[in-house]
Amino acid sequence: MGKKSGRKRQQKAVNSNGAENSTENQEGASQLESTSSTDTTNSKDEEEIDENDNDVNEDEEFADSKEAHEEEKDLHEEIREEENVEDSKQVAVEETAPGAFPNEEVPEHEQTTKEVEHEASKSDKEGALPPRDGIRTIVETGIPDHTDAPQKAPSSLLAARQNEITIKFDSKDAAARSAIESGRESIVKTFNGIKSTIGSAPELMGGVDIDWEFWGRVVENYDELVQNEPQTVQRAVADGIPKEFRGIVWQLVSRSKNLQLEELYFHLKNEPSIHERAIKRDLSRTSFFTNVNAANKADELFNVIKVYSLFDPDVGYTQGMVFIVVPLVMNMNEAECFCLLVTLMKDYGLRDLFCPEMHGLHLLLHQFDRLLEQCSPLLYNHLVRQGIRSSMYASQWFLTFFSYKFPLDVVLRIFDMVITQGIEAVLRLGVNLMLRNESNLLRLNFDALLDFLKLNLFNIYVSDEFIASTEKPESKRFSLLGRKGTTKGGANYYKLDAFVKDAMLVEVKPADINRFKSEFELLCEKDAARKQEIEEYKVKNGQLRYEIKQLETEFYTVNKDHMDVVQELVNTKVVLPDVLGDIEELEAQAASLEKDIKELEAKVEESSTSLPQDVDSKIQELLAENAKETERFAELEEKFHELSVQNSAMDAELKQRGGKKWFW
């Protein structure tokens, strides 16, 4: 059952008996059928549409959107019917699931969903605690399961956020809880003071009717009211929290007022920050700076942002923070604003939007894509085929809560939803905008489609009163700085109530949100594993490159030796003929000498045979004769010596005589 889809879980009540047992392939079949018809329709519509399609009036857009919603409703009914098909037919459906189109890959998030469901089915068979039960009690509710008792999964974002706030409060230490409770009591007293002052004087309300009894119950025991009357609370939030005590309700709902944190704020307020220059530079560029100046809140706005940059140095300061802080500082004092900002950052997950990795933004974009695919497979597939990613047009929605586009009164209503329902409420607003413009979006291709998403998506909620006003056309153009929310005649630019209430009709279940979060985390784990694998391969590649360098060096040395050997071989081959010639000559000489030796040996043998027999006697005779002659020679030498002596003596005597001769 690993291929069951999440659509059936979102159309039926979530229960512990496995309401998740529908197939993703059914959704794929519906998407294929819807997409094929859409492609045919688009090809015809594109021929009829001209370049001035963006000038279609708002009435036509509303009619197109209404027709699109009816088509979507029919599509959902078809999906419900297809989900009742027997399991034996699911194999055939699988061939038409996403990815069955030629050259089209199955979206990675759908593969991830199947893996999660496969693991859950595997655990069920093994008898272990099913992971899906864990997802139901922990992931789908967004709340850690601190007890062994089964917990009922909240059916709305309102209840899920209230449960999350309660558990985070219970997890704090006693000192922190005491500080928050003291802050709550202070806020309740403030509300009661406002109620006694304004509530008893209706003329001070300017004709605005406030249900003081209901809002008093909200202030006194919000948690109990959410549990017992969630629909009542949700309708009241959709209508807007009264501006007279909006900041009070925000703080009570979020449990943000903390006396300890306020003391820290005043301590850090006088500390310098490296971001001061950037904050001052960006404040004047911010949408609502005119509103802030008019309320004399500019210094407080600067102080809150500066102190937070000191409080959370890992995040520091980014320009998008200004859009978040302005609605807060306009409804409470700076210390309370700082406490609520810290709560939104830490407990509501806004911090992840501003961290360098922007993990929270990527998560919201993934959840937005999955919700859009769930609510309108037709539109989702069209955007995918056109190469449009949600990051191309929706990032600013989540980073600023639409503050970059809407005037302050609209943004405050959005903050009502965010603080009571969590940041996931922005998903409702975004998906609603896409659904309301579906008919227009389906007719556009990449360039025109991206321009429409960035510039014209909000025109569907332009007020009819504003369009019909007598002002000049150029004065009707909405200022991107959000400095004007109404005309001089008092007509609102946007249909604020319709925008918020339409968004509240978009079904967003905590179970779906957390299932999408689980998918995203699994995708992140896979991505991290891939990055780790890439890093390991890079290290191995570096080692291999080093080894290659070493081998190249060794090869160079061996090759050089080889070249020397080859050169020696060449030289040897060159001198080899001469050497061979010399060898042949020497061999010839040796042969000649051997021949001579043999001849001499032969002669010696011949001469030895011809010697006389008395040779020895003759030799003895000759030796005797030689001895005699030797003796005679010795005698002669002795005589010669004597004569020489005599001669010398005579010469000496002659010299003595003066050279006279002997005879004269």
How far apart are the C-alpha atoms of 479 and 286, rounded to whole Å? Answer: 12
Q: What is the mean pLDDT of residues 206-210?
A: 67
In-domain check, residue 409: yes
Q: What is the mean pLDDT of residues 310-333?
A: 89
Q: What is the mean pLDDT of residues 389-418?
A: 88
Determine contact, residues 367/513, Cβ cutoff 8 Å.
yes
246 plus 275 within the same structural domain? no
495 plus 380 within the same structural domain? yes
Amino acid identity for residue 602 in this structure:
A
Q: What percent of the chain has pLDDT over 90?
A: 15
What length is written for the chain? 664
438-465 pLDDT, tens digit each: 888 998 888 888 989 888 888 888 877 6
In-domain check, residue 557: no
Determine contact, residues 327/412, Cβ cutoff 8 Å.
yes
CA distances from 257 to 237, 246, 266, 332 (A): 21, 14, 14, 11
Record the tokens describing residue 553, joined without a space. 């060096």
In-domain check, residue 178: yes
424 plus 502 within the same structural domain? yes
Determine contact, residues 116/516, Cβ cutoff 8 Å.
no
Q: What pLDDT score was predicted for residue 543?
A: 92
Q: Which of 231, 257, 283 is the last residue of a domain?
A: 257
How far apart are the C-alpha atoms of 418 and 415, rounded to whole Å? Answer: 5
Q: What pLDDT score was predicted for residue 446?
A: 86
28 plus 158 within the same structural domain? no
242 plus 263 within the same structural domain? no
How far apart are the C-alpha atoms of 410 and 213, rounded to whole Å? Answer: 25
Record the tokens describing residue 392, joined without a space. 């191309």
Please give the helix or strand (H or E) that residue 457 lies within, else none.
none
Q: What pLDDT score was predicted for residue 336?
A: 92
How far apart are the C-alpha atoms of 4 and 113, rounded to whole Å? Answer: 9
Q: What pLDDT score was predicted for residue 534?
A: 92
Please give the helix or strand (H or E) that residue 201 lies within, else none.
none
CA distances from 239 to 144, 162, 402, 412, 417 (A): 32, 19, 18, 12, 10
Q: What is the mean pLDDT of residues 50-72?
A: 43
Determine contact, residues 480/403, Cβ cutoff 8 Å.
no
215-243 pLDDT, tens digit each: 888 888 888 888 888 888 888 888 889 88
Range of the domain at 395: 7-49+56-106+357-508
Q: What pLDDT score was predicted for residue 299?
A: 87
For residue 405, name the pLDDT band (cuts at 50, 70, 90): confident
405 plus 494 within the same structural domain? yes
For residue 305, name the pLDDT band (cuts at 50, 70, 90): very high
Q: What pLDDT score was predicted for residue 378?
A: 92
Phi then psi for 160, rounded to 5 degrees?
Answer: -65, -40
Domain total for the chain?
3
Determine contact, residues 22/2, Cβ cutoff 8 Å.
no
In-domain check, residue 554: no
Among 197-206, 218-227, 614-623, the least confident range: 197-206
How far apart are the C-alpha atoms of 487 and 349, rounded to whole Å? Answer: 36
Coil vs helix vs strand at 89: helix
160 plus 95 within the same structural domain? no
pLDDT at residue 16 above 50?
Answer: no
- Termini Cα distance of the chain: 166
Of 153 and 163, more confident: 163
Determine contact, residues 406/414, Cβ cutoff 8 Å.
yes
Q: What is the DSSP secondary-structure string of 141-199? A: TTS---SSS--PPPSSHHHHHHHHHHHHHHTS-HHHHHHHHHHHHHHHHHHHHHHHHHT
Record the tokens describing residue 159, joined without a space. 């209840």
Q: Which of 375, 479, 364, 353 shows the shortest CA–CA distance to 433?
A: 375
In-domain check, residue 664: no
Beta bridge partners of 462: 494
In-domain check, residue 558: no
CA distances from 570 to 559, 573, 576, 583 (A): 16, 5, 10, 20
Determine contact, residues 502/432, Cβ cutoff 8 Å.
yes
Determine contact, residues 408/482, Cβ cutoff 8 Å.
yes
515-567 pLDDT, tens digit each: 888 888 888 888 888 988 999 999 999 999 999 999 999 999 999 999 999 99
Determine contact, residues 98/107, Cβ cutoff 8 Å.
yes
Residue with tokens 């000559």: 585
How far apart are the C-alpha atoms of 270 and 272, rounded to whole Å? Answer: 7
Q: What pLDDT score was predicted for residue 133?
A: 35
How open is the CA angle 615-618-622, to the nearest 5 degrees?
A: 135
164 plus 247 within the same structural domain? yes
Q: What pLDDT score was predicted for residue 601?
A: 83
The distance from CA 642 to its chain's CA centroid, rounded to whole angstroms, is 131
Determine contact, residues 280/238, Cβ cutoff 8 Å.
no
How far apart are the C-alpha atoms of 380 and 362, rounded to whole Å? Answer: 17
Q: How confident is the prediction for the chain on average, in pLDDT? A: 74
240 plus 270 within the same structural domain? no
pLDDT at residue 73 above 60?
Answer: no
Determine contact, residues 270/239, Cβ cutoff 8 Å.
no
Dihedral of CA 327/331/333/337: which sign?
negative
How far apart are the C-alpha atoms of 168 and 348, rounded to whole Å? Answer: 11
99-120 pLDDT, tens digit each: 433 334 444 444 544 454 444 4
For residue 162, name the pLDDT band (cuts at 50, 70, 90): confident
How far apart are the C-alpha atoms of 413 and 500, rounded to whole Å? Answer: 8
Say which CATH number the domain at 483 has. Answer: 1.10.472.80
Q: What pLDDT score was predicted for residue 171?
A: 87
How open is the CA angle 545-549-551, to the nearest 5 degrees?
A: 110
Cα maximum dimension of the chain: 194
Coil vs helix vs strand at 462: strand
237-291 pLDDT, tens digit each: 888 898 888 999 999 999 988 888 999 999 998 898 999 889 988 887 776 666 7
413 plus 423 within the same structural domain? yes
The count of other CB atoms within 10 Å of the CB of residue 39 is: 12
For residue 435, name the pLDDT band (cuts at 50, 70, 90): very high
pLDDT at residue 179 above 50?
Answer: yes
512-526 pLDDT, tens digit each: 888 888 888 888 888
The count of other CB atoms within 10 Å of the CB of residue 65 is: 18
- pTM of the prediction? 0.60
Record the tokens describing residue 507, joined without a space. 């079904």
The distance from CA 25 to its chain's CA centroid, rounded to whole angstroms, is 29
Of 336 and 472, more confident: 336
Phi then psi for 612, rounded to 5 degrees?
Answer: -70, 165
Most confident of 144-148, 192-196, 409-413: 409-413
CA distances from 501 to 483, 496, 497 (A): 24, 9, 6
In-domain check, residue 138: no
Record the tokens describing residue 76, joined without a space. 């959902």
Say which CATH number the domain at 291 has. Answer: 1.10.8.270
Q: What pLDDT score was predicted for residue 9?
A: 38
Q: What pLDDT score was predicted for residue 2?
A: 40
196 plus 236 within the same structural domain? yes
Q: Which of 356, 374, 405 is the last residue of a domain?
A: 356
Determine contact, residues 369/26, Cβ cutoff 8 Å.
no
CA 301, 303, 305, 308: dihedral to nearest 10 degrees? -140
Record the tokens describing residue 524, joined without a space. 């992140």
In-domain check, residue 167: yes
Record the tokens describing residue 4, joined without a space. 């069951």
Q: What is the mean pLDDT of residues 153-180?
A: 84
Q: Which of 356, 384, 406 is the last residue of a domain?
A: 356
Beta bridge partners of 492: 486
Phi then psi for 582, rounded to 5 degrees?
Answer: -60, -40
Of 156 and 426, more confident: 426
Beta bridge partners of 486: 492
238 plus 284 within the same structural domain? no
pLDDT at residue 148 above 80?
Answer: no
How far apart are the C-alpha atoms of 67 and 507, rounded to whole Å? Answer: 19
Determine contact, residues 334/304, Cβ cutoff 8 Å.
yes
pLDDT at residue 580 above 80?
Answer: yes
Q: What pLDDT score was predicted for residue 636?
A: 86
